[in-house]
């Protein structure tokens, strides 16, 4: 009997070892990041744990960067950029390298990351995530705080969580309504964990707390929406954009197509035609094309991501720039005009209406001028275009027109 028990025990032990091996094999199959850093002997970037990226030298984590190491890592990052645009594995390597560099960054490295953020809008999500690692593990600098706050316009998902967590560790707080609104919007698109982080940051920034409801540790984003409307009645409400019932195209549909496409699919001629067909030309300048009444779009690709341009085109009143405010003018005769005010004569006000028409109003006839929450840019402009034209319009605006100066872009030596 004792022999039988011993046999069973051995079988169980073997079975356990096999299962452990299977488990280890299964984990080994999970893709992890590991690649050699060129020009640095015995140096690799390695994912030592899930999402934990390190620069390893002879098997030991590098603690601080030197000039030679920074130069090699920068060149590695630039080379990765030039490989297979849109390749998922390459994108993972790029993010991993930025995070690993940020964790042990010195001043030149931080300057480099900031330049990446300014020069490459499409990479701002990744740079912000990297800087959030530096802020968590090193000092909290005002310059990094500003980068992280600005990234709230573009970050999503887990990257948004990382940035919001980092911002809660800064003593500095945002007291600007536009950033509080943007944080609420980010929270609205998060899962429950992300909403909790957003609520924590909102409390940190505003000092506002709510009585616990239904034993919830944090108030819902709906609480914050209502609070924002009450606190800032003259600001745009903190609500996500809503697509009109008659919208020909859906935002997520067009964004998905944009994100799948590469530079090879760019059709500048079709994009320029769409710029005219959608009536953008009436108010906006793009290179030598169009009017200068509204914002100049010549360098829009150096300021915003494609998804931001798409959103601004489809939901023009979701964010109204402080540089181009909209007003409603009521005349003494009871007429009402809404649009952007432009330069005119000493006795007149020029108003650019939603229809792209310039209306001249005698100043003596003005009874009231009221700020408007609605953009002077009309809704539904993309309804005038086919799907292909709409895509090429956004891609066209993502280029620099002929004659435009290519502002700072870091390049290989």
Q: Would you kindly state where each structural domain of the chain is located, as residue ranges? A: 30-170, 173-240, 251-315+379-397, 326-372
CATH topology of domain 326-372: SH3 type barrels. (2.30.30)
Residue 213 backbone phi and psi in degrees, to 5: -125, 125
Q: What is the per-residue pLDDT across 240-299, written as a single tens digit (0 to 9) for each?
A: 999 988 899 999 999 999 988 777 788 999 999 999 999 999 888 999 998 877 789 999
Q: What is the per-residue pLDDT across 285-332, written as a single tens digit (0 to 9) for each?
A: 999 998 877 789 999 999 999 999 999 999 998 887 766 778 888 888
Assess whether pLDDT exceeds 60 at residue 27.
no
Query: At a CB cut-off of 8 Å and minimum separation 6, what does 75 contact?
Result: 38, 39, 412, 413
Site of tokens 């079988």: 11
Q: How far is CA 6 from CA 16, 17, 18, in A?
A: 15, 17, 18
- Exposed, middle or buried: residue 314 (CB in 10 Å: 0-12, 13-18, 19+)? buried
d(CA 116, CA 160): 18
Per-residue confidence band for 343, with pLDDT thresholds at 50, 70 and 90:
low
d(CA 403, CA 243): 36
Query: At a CB cut-off of 8 Å and minimum separation 6, what does 392 contact?
Result: 266, 267, 270, 271, 274
State pTM to two decimals. Answer: 0.82
d(CA 228, CA 78): 43
Asked if residues 312 and 251 have their Cβ atoms less than 8 Å apart, the reply is: no
Q: For the chain, what is the mean pLDDT?
A: 85
Query: At a CB cut-off of 8 Å and minimum separation 6, what does 59 contact?
Result: none
pLDDT of residue 40: 92
């Amino acid at each position: 009997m004792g022999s039988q028990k011993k046999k069973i025990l051995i079988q169980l032990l073997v079975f356990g070892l096999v299962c452990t091996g299977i488990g280890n094999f299964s984990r080994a199959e999970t893709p992890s990041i590991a690649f050699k850093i060129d020009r640095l002997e015995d140096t690799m970037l390695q994912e030592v744990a899930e999402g934990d990226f390190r620069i390893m030298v002879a098997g030991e984590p590098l603690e601080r960067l030197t000039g030679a190491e920074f130069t090699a890592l920068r060149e590695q990052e630039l080379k990765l950029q030039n490989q297979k645009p849109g390749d998922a594995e390459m994108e993972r390597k790029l993010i991993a390298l930025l995070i690993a560099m940020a964790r042990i960054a010195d001043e030149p490295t931080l300057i480099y990351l900031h330049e990446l953020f300014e020069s490459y809008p499409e990479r701002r999500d990744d740079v912000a995530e990297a800087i959030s690692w530096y802020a968590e593990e090193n000092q909290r600098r005002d310059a990094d705080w500003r980068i992280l706050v600005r990234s709230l316009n573009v970050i999503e998902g887990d990257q948004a969580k990382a940035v919001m967590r980092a911002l809660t560790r800064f003593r500095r707080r945002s007291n600007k309504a536009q950033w509080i609104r943007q944080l609420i919007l980010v929270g609205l698109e998060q899962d429950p964990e992300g909403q909790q982080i957003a609520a924590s940051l909102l409390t940190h920034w505003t000092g506002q707390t709510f009585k616990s409801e239904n034993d919830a540790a944090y108030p819902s984003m709906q609480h914050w929406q209502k609070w924002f409307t009450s606190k800032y009645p003259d600001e745009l409400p903190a609500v996500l954009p809503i697509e009109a019932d008659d919208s020909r195209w859906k935002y997520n549909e067009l964004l998905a197509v944009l994100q799948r496409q590469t530079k090879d699919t760019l059709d500048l001629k079709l994009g320029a035609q769409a710029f005219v067909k959608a009536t953008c030309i009436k108010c906006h300048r793009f290179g030598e094309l169009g009017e200068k009444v509204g914002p100049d779009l010549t360098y829009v690709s150096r300021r915003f991501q494609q998804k931001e341009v798409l959103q601004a085109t489809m939901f023009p009143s979701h964010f109204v720039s402080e540089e181009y405010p909209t007003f409603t003018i009521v005349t003494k005769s009871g007429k009402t005009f809404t649009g952007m005010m432009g330069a005119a004569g000493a006795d007149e006000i020029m108003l650019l209406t939603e229809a792209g028409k310039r209306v001249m109003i005698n100043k003596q006839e003005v009874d009231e001028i009221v700020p408007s929450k609605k953009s002077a840019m009309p809704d539904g402009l993309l309804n005038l275009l086919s799907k292909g034209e709409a895509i090429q319009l956004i891609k066209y605006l993502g280029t620099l027109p002929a004659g435009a100066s290519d502002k700072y872009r870091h390049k290989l030596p």
